Amino acid sequence: MNTMNEKSWLKYLFIILSIIIMVYWGHHVFVSIRKNTMETFDYNIYLQNIIAMSFYGIIGLLLGLEHLIKEIKKEGKWVINIPKIVLMGVPALYFSLSIFIFYNNLFLNNIWSQPISILLTKGNSNFIIVFQVILGHTIITSFNKDNHNSESIEK
């Protein structure tokens, strides 16, 4: 096995182990929160959502880590992929913040919170986790290096 192939195996092993650690750590934290809630009847939905955004957002970041590492090694000026941020990041942020938007409807008009309220009143909030992962991945993969100048010099 050549060293490049060995590096790929180690890199992907590191990423999946990091994700597994985050999942288990997150599970432990949420079980602790649930136990505390059962004992004290003190439940902070906002804190739980912030913690969830952190855990699942980090999983998205880990999934996009390889992209960032490749970009760091490139020459060029850092640029942000605005279409990706707008078309993927903003909707992912919107749905990631569903709990805040739904429960703070005093500050937002009903049209803004309507898509979320439809999903949440159906009794399933699993979609929030998916969007939190997408948000983390979108953030880390939206940074690229523009090497147009170096390409034109090489040609």
pLDDT in tens, 45-100: 888 888 889 999 999 999 999 899 999 999 999 999 999 999 999 999 988 888 77
Which residue reads 């880590």 in tokens? 65
Predicted local confidence at residue 101, as pLDDT: 76
pLDDT in tens, 102-155: 776 655 556 666 677 666 666 667 788 899 999 999 999 999 998 765 443 443
- Per-residue pLDDT tens digits for 21-52: 988 998 899 899 889 888 888 888 888 888 88
Residue 85 belongs to domain spanning:
7-146
- Sequence-distant (6+) residues with CB within 8 A of 120 are 98, 102
Question: In total, how many domains does the chain have?
Answer: 1
- Tell me what pLDDT residue 2 has: 66
In a domain, 74, yes or no: yes
Q: Tokens for 115?
A: 């898509």
**Taking a C-beta distance cutoff of 8 angstroms, is the pair 135, 89 a contact?**
yes
Q: Is residue 153 part of a domain?
A: no
The structure tokens listed for 102 are: 């739904």
Asked if residue 155 belongs to a domain, the reply is no
Residue 138 in domain = yes
Contacts of 138 (CB under 8 A, 6+ apart): 60, 64, 84, 85, 88, 89, 92
Residue 154: inside a domain: no
Is 98 inside any structural domain? yes
Report yes or no on 78 lying in a domain: yes
